[in-house]
Amino acid sequence: MGRARRMGGAALDVVERTLTAAGLGESAEKLTADARSYWQQGDGDRWRGDSHWRDASVFAGNDLWSETGRRHLDLFHRLARVVERTGPLGTVLEWGCGGGANAVHFAPGAAEFVGVDIARATLDECGRQVAAVTATPFRPVLVDPADPEAAVFGLRGSVDVLTCFYVFELIVSQDYGARLLRIAAELLADDGLAMVQIKYDTGSFGTRPRRRNYRSRLASMTTYRIDEFWSLAVECGLVPEAVHLVPRNELDERYAYFLLSKPAGGHPGGPA
């Protein structure tokens, strides 16, 4: 039965990608509505796993929940050395904080930790996890996926480090990703750093953006070629400093981590 389900899922994936390649992807409005409905439902083990809650079955009997955040913090420090950045993190914002797997590692070294998510229950869970490990103030920010710019307007220019993990593969389009990068450029203080993870497109048919049937394969909605995302970051006012590739890990495959900086005075490729 399991094999049959996998084969059926693979066949459906081919059909969905074929339709998208033929220009029959679902509209951004429909996908956004489907995304809001899924992430704000706050129920079920699959949802808890996708939201990276510690008690989800995917993290049972292993240390993967904590190890994921630990790896991300270690990678951030390694990449930050490329631009000779060491010392306190300052104000850290995680876009798509989920159940706190990353927050519990980044928050102890921060002056303040801002968690952004589209589900109130997930923000509450992240706050509980942070409070269990550190006295660092936690600020929850609830965002409407249809209007992400509105939720963080008051934080403009005040964030020293911005992180975004396991989000860009879930968003509804590459254009939406550009909106998030512009938000990051506005939120970051001069000389601030962002670490953004994407799922990369290798050029093969099976790694292209899916853009249909949101609930069935969340982590296949949006992909980018590595050079494409690099150029997009520049257009949005950020400077790519380094990229780290993870072809496969325990959760999935084809991850690229970009270290991006916000130069003082803006950047010619983006907003001042």
- Percent of the chain exceeding pLDDT 90 equals 75
pLDDT range class, residue 243, cuts 50, 70, 90: very high
Look over the chain and give the mean of its residue pLDDT values, rounded to a whole number.
90
DSSP-assigned letter for residue 105: H
What pLDDT does residue 218 have? 81
Q: Please tell me the CATH superfamily of domain 28-261, with its number.
A: Vaccinia Virus protein VP39 (3.40.50.150)
pLDDT classification of 10: cutoffs 50, 70, 90: low
pLDDT of residue 11: 62
Tell me the pLDDT band of 265, cut-offs 50, 70 and 90.
Answer: confident
The mean per-residue pLDDT over the stretch 70-97 comes to 96
Query: Per the structure block, which two tokens stand in for 206?
Result: 């099976």
Domain ranges of the chain: 28-261
The set of residues, in sequence order, having a beta carbon less than 8 Å from that of 174 and lying 6+ positions away, is 209, 222, 224, 232
pTM higher than 0.95: no
Tokens coding 125: 């869970």
**Structure token digits, residue 111:** 């002056």
Report yes or no: 106 and 134 within 8 Å, Cβ to Cβ: no
Q: From the CB of residue 243, how many other CB atoms can be counted at a distance below 10 Å?
A: 17
β-strands 253-261, 239-248 pairing: antiparallel
Dig out the tokens for 45 from the structure. Answer: 């083990």
